[in-house]
A and B are shown apart, each in its own frame.
Chain A
Amino acid sequence: MTDKSHDPNQMTGAAMIVRALIDHGVQHVFGYPGGAVLPIYDEIFQQSEVEHILVRHEQGAGHAAEGYARSTGKPGVVLVTSGPGATNMVTPLTDALMDSIPLVCITGQVPTHLIGNDAFQECDTVGITRPATKHNWLVRDVNDLARVLHEAFYVATTGRPGPVVVDVPKDVQFATGTYHPPRKSDVHVSYTPRVKGDATQIRKAVALLANAKRPVIYSGGGVINSGPEASQLLRQLVEATGFPITSTLMGLGAYPASGPNWLGMLGMHGTYEANMTMHDCDVMLCVGARFDDRITGRTDAFSPGSKKIHIDIDPSSINKNIRVDVPIIGDCGNVLGDLLQVFKAEAKKPDIKAWWQQIAQWRARNSLSYRKNNDVILPQYAIQRLFELTRGKDTYITTEVGQHQMWAAQFFGFEEPHRWMTSGGLGTMGYGLPAAVGVQVAHPDSLVIDIAGDASVQMTIQEMSTAVQFELPIKIFILNNQYMGMVRQWQQLLHGNRLSHSYSEALPDFVKLADAYGCVGLQAHKPADLDGAIKEMISIKRPVLFDCRVAALENCFPMIPSGKAHNEMLLPEEATDEATAKAFSGGKALV
């Protein structure tokens, strides 16, 4: 071959890609082959350090990589072909961008001389994925490839994590060039995420916390992303201050649901006590959350009397939706560590007994209550039973999007971070099943359950086949209400009960479908059958599709109605037809 063949760093672009994956400690890649990535697939074939998980649709690869990343803290890696392979990745990339999940996606591209010619399976991948990624690159020269790949891993995993795309034309994959292992100079000098919080700001925050009468800690996905250490520090801070704590959908598990200071989730379908505490507090400590519109309700009525401290690694999250008094830019774990140290050295636990008494009254409203039913399975009850029967097991939960997702968040108690994978920012139906595949790849011996809806699950059901091929015993627990329940709920509450296209017509027989895929199908119709069926599901060491037939018309409460503030929640026992109509009619003026 060439005269340089003795140099171990001389290799083809395709070989560099596999080599870079190995150098970054990647053990699993989720992907789907095609013409523009065949040289890379050829390299994958000839090695055994990186295992390739073949999905059935590129979107599945993306969500699987997201589940893998969120349950391990490592980046998820995806390999797809040009054109349709790349466009099928747009949804998971956007999902990962919204929820700050580190993904490295390698896409094949047509050869450089054909770019711009409308070649077969050409698309402007870098253009299409630009707003869907933290950053992306088109590599035109094989000698840039090593640097770009290393930079891609660095950008995806540092600062506010996110998805990146490296687009590699086929001729670059074939070309020979020089590889180098990761080194510091691979990264743009202009990219310098800030990790350590400003000491003066931290002192200001401690002064506010120390003098608080009605404090609350509001934590989010940033604490999870920062790593298990951050969750430990958060727990220590709650312990040291004695403050109540709530969290966003993305932050569940950072503080244990069984902890004494836990208020439950906040926001549109959060608990009454969490939202009331947020509304009436005098000092709010927001850690790694971003005042999203599902959290704040009406921004002009959001926690009107409080001083707000905001810890976030992304300066653009500060003052985006809500003005804060003490912003602290930095990594949640790092800042929490410093904050805790200063608090312990300079402050005492404030006396907030009266505040806790007030909270106890809100708690007594029991906002998650629902009436029992012996004839039909209520979805809330199904989640509660699933939670009880998996307690103490090594369990990971993923979800789809809809009512079932909110019920899972409300009724499944998470004791640890990295155990809960859900599509929060983008709200992607079809996320949960492939995400469960990814989680199970990372944790082959754990119990991985996708809490699914009958509509959502059909969006990526083909990944059952992936689960069967790779012997991944995921459990798909479908809360089958025969509706796009969340859509139906909005239509009922906001659109005069005109149920336009929200009925799940022509549902497949999920048990037969499971059978057809070579997994196990189970069904439960009656509350009395539920426990037995769940236990059976847990005991089966193969993929299971569980068709849990639940009440069709149940709605998800409590709920902050449209255009309302946190202290105007609609509680389940109040949600009679008239009260609901009244609560939502106020919103009409807003449209």
Chain B
Amino acid sequence: MNQPASAYFLEERHDPNETHTLSVLVQNEPGVLARVIGLFSGRGYNIDSLTVSETENQKHLSRITIVTTGTPMVIQQIKHQLDRMIPVYRVVDMTLTGSSIERELAMVKVRGGGDHRVEALRLADAFRARVIDATTESFVFEITGNSSKISQFIDLMRPLGLVEVSRTGVAAITRGPEGM
């Protein structure tokens, strides 16, 4: 059966998606994170990763790093929508600067004995992960790097007795002498 028509335009446009990392400098005041998150949920934007902390406490500035996915038009919208929020100072698209460094920290708990234990230690060494807690049957590794390195490490730990993971989300900064 034919569905009824509509006077809205129900077709979606499907442009290819891109992933961008945005650095957002905000006034650190109550509710500012809720505003940012509310913008994303309210307008249907994606958040792949979100990291926030006060960075200059005399000036009450916080830096939010958001990794998001969308069509080029949506990414541009996200930046404009963030920028027009009252407590937002600046929005920088780290992906467009072409020279940004991105890091994430993860703590990875692995449980096991025998060969698995030895193999986990060997891989941790190869990934420059540090042991920050150990018992006779477990390790907690600390690893930093870009997100794909961390994901790869976690994948390798899975068959060796991965118990749980805690990731910080991405922090990003540009190379060179200039600040944002």
B-contacting residues of A (Cβ < 8 Å)?
126-127, 130-131, 134-135, 138, 155, 160, 188-191, 268, 293, 297-300, 314-316, 318-320, 323, 490, 493-496, 561-563, 584-588, 590-591
Q: How large is the interface on B (under 10, 10 to 19, 20 to 34, 35 or more residues)?
A: 20 to 34
Q: When each residue 30-46 of chain B gets 1 if its CB lies under 8 Å from chain A and 0 otherwise, what string results? A: 11001100100010000
Instruction: Please report the number of residue pairs spanning A and B whose Cβ atoms sit closer than 8 angstroms.
Output: 92
Name B's interface SS: loop
Residues on A with C-beta less than 8 A from B7 are 268, 490, 493-494, 561-562, 587
Q: Is B121 an interface residue (CB 8 A)?
A: no
Q: When each residue 84-125 of chain B gets 1 if its CB lies under 8 Å from chain A and 0 otherwise, what string results? A: 111111000000000000000000000000000000000000
Q: Quote the shortest CB–CB distance from B43 to chain A (angstroms).
A: 9
Picked from B2, B30, B81, B87, the residue with its CB within 8 Å of the CB of A190 is: B87
Q: How far is the CA of A318 from the CA of B77 in the complex (A)?
A: 8
Q: Is B126 an interface residue (CB 8 A)?
A: no
Q: When each residue 71-86 of chain B gets 1 if its CB lies under 8 Å from chain A and 0 otherwise, what string results? A: 0010011001101111
CB-based contact A298/B9 at 8 Å: yes
Known: A319-B76, A320-B77. A494 touches B87 (CB 8 A): no
Q: Is B3 an interface residue (CB 8 A)?
A: yes
CB-based contact A591/B10 at 8 Å: yes
CB-based contact B27/A188 at 8 Å: yes
CB-based contact B27/A293 at 8 Å: no
Q: Is B133 an interface residue (CB 8 A)?
A: no
CB-based contact A315/B34 at 8 Å: no
B 105-157 contacts with A by CB, 8 A: none
Q: Which 10 interchain pairs have the tightest Cβ spacing?
A: A587-B5, A316-B80, A190-B89, A135-B86, A591-B3, A494-B5, A315-B80, A562-B5, A588-B2, A495-B4
Residues on B with C-beta less than 8 A from A127 are 34
Known: A298-B9, A563-B11, A588-B4. A314 touches B84 (CB 8 A): yes
Residues on B with C-beta less than 8 A from A320 are 73, 77
26 sample A-B contacts, Cβ–Cβ < 8 Å, listed by A number: A130-B31, A130-B38, A131-B42, A160-B84, A188-B87, A189-B89, A190-B27, A268-B7, A293-B8, A298-B9, A299-B9, A299-B13, A300-B13, A316-B81, A316-B84, A319-B73, A493-B7, A494-B7, A562-B9, A563-B5, A585-B5, A587-B5, A588-B4, A588-B5, A590-B6, A591-B6
Residues on A with C-beta less than 8 A from B5 are 493-494, 561-563, 584-588, 590-591
Q: Quote the shortest CB–CB distance from A436 to chain B (angstroms).
A: 28
Q: How far is the CA of A189 from the CA of B34 in the complex (A)?
A: 20
Residues on B with C-beta less than 8 A from A588 are 2-5
Residues on B with C-beta less than 8 A from A298 are 9
Which residue of A is nearest B7, CB measured?
A562
Residues on A with C-beta less than 8 A from B10 are 563, 590-591
Residues on A with C-beta less than 8 A from B77 are 316, 319-320
